Amino acid sequence: MLEDPFQESEESFIVSSETAIPSESSQPVAAPQQQYDQEQDQEQQELLQQQQQKQQRQPLSTVPQPEPKQQKPKKSNDTRHQTNAPPMPAEKEKVPEKTPEEKEQERRQQARDVEANMDQIRFSTTYHDDVYAYRHVKLPKAISRWLPHYKPLKESEWRALGVQQSSTWEHYMVHAPEPHILLFREPINVYKARMREREKREQELAAAATAAEQEASEDLPEPSRPSKRQKAE
């Protein structure tokens, strides 16, 4: 078999080319990277220098800082150990008491006002719930001026003002906007028992009245009948 004369030359060419021309991957790449890093460092230094120059040209603005808040001491309600405690308030001046003569004069004047204006006292209709029966009594101005302020009255007190009703009623509350209107109440069972007694008494009185009328009619003389002669005439 004949040998190819060009085979050896090709192999020698390949070997020589590999040794003579180095590949790109074998070239060093450190030099361009270092140059890039140096450029970046220079740019940063220039920026820092420019900023420093601007700060030197423009004065810094002095911004006032807020003062720290001072905490106030807590107030204690205990004043036993305080030397600078506030002084006690002065006592109110006491109203001098009335003399017995002045009280007697007021009592007589109240009795005169009540007697003169008793017919102007107005009683409301009775209304009730499951526990109490209620009514209110309206006093005229001449009598209401003798009312004690914001105080429920006892039986003797509201009777002295001319209010006439059963003793089972209780003045239980004062209405501040209208103190001249007295609010009374009594237990519902007492109220119902009193109503039954009243109805019974009214029935007895009505029966007695009818009986008296019948007796009076029986005692009257019978009318005389006319005679035959009087009829003919």
In this prediction, residues 192-211 reach a mean pLDDT of 91
pLDDT in tens, 123-182: 999 999 999 999 999 999 999 999 987 789 999 999 999 999 999 999 999 988 899 999
Percentage, residues of the chain above pLDDT 70: 64
For CA atoms 206, 207, 208, 211, the dihedral sign is: positive
In this prediction, residues 58-80 reach a mean pLDDT of 62
d(CA 139, CA 143): 6
- 39, two tokens: 């450029």
Q: Report the pLDDT value the prediction gives residue 43, as an integer from 0 to 100.
A: 86
- 4, two tokens: 């190819």
- For 218, counting Cβ atoms within 10 Å of its Cβ (0-12 exposed, 13-18 middle, 19+ buried), the class is exposed
- 167, two tokens: 């003793």
CATH numbers and ranges of domains, the chain: 102-187 (3.30.170.10)
Q: Which residues of 206-215 are buried (b: 16+ CB within 10 A; e: fewer)?
A: eeeeeeeeee
**Average pLDDT value for the chain:** 77
